Amino acid sequence: MNRIIECVPNFSEGNDMNIIKLITNEIESVEGVKLLNVDPGKATNRTVVTFVGAPEVVVQAAFLAIKKASELIDMSKHKGEHPRMGATDVCPLIPISGISMEETAEFAKILGTRVGKELNLAVYLYEAAQVNQERNNLSIIRNGEYEGFFKKIKLPEWKPDFGPAEHSVKSGSTVIGARDFLVAYNINLNTTSTRRANSIAFDVREAGRVKREGNSVTGKIINDEKGNPVVIPGSLKSVKAIGWFIEEYGIAQISMNLTNINVTPVHIAFDEVCKKALERGIRVTGSELVGLVPLKSMLDAGKYFLEKQKRSIGISEKELIKIAVKSLGLDELAPFKPEERIIEYLLKDESKSRLIKMNLVEFADETASESPAPGGGSISAYVGSLGVSLGTMVANLSSHKPGWDDKWKEFSVWAEKGQYYKNELLKLVDEDTNAFNKIMTAFGMPKSTDEEKKKRTAAIQEATKYATEIPLRVMQLSYESMEIIKAMTEIGNPNSVTDAGVGALCARAAVIGAYLNVKINASGLSDKSYAADIIAKGKQIEEKAQALENEILKIVNSKI
């Protein structure tokens, strides 16, 4: 697996787009780096930039961006709602794939060393890159902000990890580290009061608030027997939060960092703030995500709100995201564009899903053209996806049939399974064609020398093996999906039983069609033992699919 890390530097400029563009130009100048998102905030006067790539090129791009920010941003003139201490306030590296947190932390140290040495800026490490547990928390490091750091940096315990023990008047100091994926999330309130927003933030954030006598704001702090302040913890784990007023929007917000979305996901944070705000006579009107969000966060949110309505969660990815956006009010302040805000969508290679991006007419035209692909394998996968889609439709119709309210959960489970099979088969529509193209590429390899011939033969065999395994996967998925189709003929809405029957016909056709491709591709394999084994597996699936189709059609005909 390729090593990929994400970098999310926060620059202390959110109004001058020319400055921001000059900084991001430095990032994009590095080959192998992909700029995913640029999210400026006027009130915070801060821009969150997100880019990904291999560790070495990401470090180079981050260094160039920090360098350019130090040249263009004058911190002595900076004003903004968000806490900050430098032109590049914070620069975290985040492991995405093929790399551990420990390895990512080492790259953070490499970056910190360069910034300190070559740019002569004070650098502090945080989170996984910082071994000193007393100074690995970003908010603790940043406490005092730009204005207070001139004195703070002179304290022995606050000597920088890299660079001089001098806080630059123009560029400030910066924090570099390695951390898990963090979601920056703001929740909008129908109040202009920062104090009330802060009260809600203290209610929910993990750190909570200090306990006081009488008045919770001005009362005397209560200490324990050791003289330490007694803390009332907040209701949400792995959450940092503060309240602020955003002049740009004319409202107060709860600004949150969700540091572990497996512990506290976005939808739980939203609902808890709604609850605490209502207790204080305040309403939540919507929310906004800063930067990017994982796809799972949006899908989980959509499912969460559907289940609260006792609705089926077995709907398309697009619809789940739409439910999440509307339920969280993510489009209150500005349009929410999933293709620009969900990290997996930005990383997706669209060239590998060309066919399923076509409309029905385009797909039919492409199939009917003189091009040999898409061929029978891709069509089999698509027919299989249509078959299970029909079964899934019956499950969703049944889940909210009048009088069947007590059964919605059961049908929701079936529909969710159906969505899985549909999505997997749709992926194989393009993958079967990609597999065919790999064979063509292998045949096009040079064959002038014995060594070239050897490599070409090996490549052809490897590509042919892959092209045999893809239709076998289509067979397996299409056959397994028939379990859903059968269940819907037995317990689903009787008015849609013929829809499930057509689904069974499609699934069986997909199995038989894909098996033809398994056999013809296996015939080109030099490993005859492997070829015989995969053909035997396919034959077994074909026989079971035909038998199951007969069972399903008997049920359908008995109910017509």
Q: Is 336 left (phi over 0), alpha (psi -120 to 50) or beta?
A: beta
Active site residue 432: yes
The neighbouring-strand residues paired with 275 are none
For 37-64, give one letter per residue: b (16+ CB within 10 A) or e.
bbbbbebbbbbbbbbbbbbebbbbbbbb
Q: What is the DSSP letter of 229?
A: B
**Closest alpha carbon to 332 in 268, 251, 242:** 251
CB 36 within 8 A of CB 24: no
Quick check: helix, strand or coil at residue 167? Answer: coil
Using only the alpha carbons of the chain, give its radius of gyration: 29
CB-hemisphere CA count at 13 Å for 282?
27
CB 53 within 8 A of CB 102: no
Alpha-carbon span 40 to 504, nearest angstrom: 51
> Which tokens is 308 given?
């609260």
What are the DSSP E strand ranges found in 180-318?
183-189, 209-210, 231-232, 239-246, 251-258, 284-290
Q: What is the DSSP letter of 136?
A: -
The H or E element spanning position 12 is none
Chain centre to alpha carbon of residue 230: 38
**Closest alpha carbon to 466 in 528, 534, 529:** 534
Quick check: helix, strand or coil at residue 342? Answer: strand
Alpha-carbon span 339 to 336, nearest angstrom: 9
> How far, CA to CA in Å, does 127 sit from each of 51, 92, 160, 473, 540?
20, 9, 15, 43, 53
Active site residue 82: yes
Catalytic residue among 39, 89, 300, 432, which?
Answer: 432
The bridge status of strand 174-178 relative to strand 123-127 is parallel
**Bond into 265 cis (ω within 30):** no
Alpha-carbon span 118 to 105, nearest angstrom: 20
Quick check: helix, strand or coil at residue 421? Answer: helix
> Which tokens is 203 given?
């209610």
For residue 344, what are the contacts with CB-CB under 8 A and spacing of at least 6?
294, 295
Chain centre to alpha carbon of residue 111: 26
Chain centre to alpha carbon of residue 266: 12
Q: What is the DSSP letter of 86?
A: B
Q: What is the DSSP letter of 369?
A: S
Work out the number of other CB atoms within 10 angstroms of the CB of residue 436: 22
Catalytic residue among 39, 78, 82, 89, which?
Answer: 82
Quick check: helix, strand or coil at residue 215? Answer: coil
| Catalytic residue annotation | 82, 432
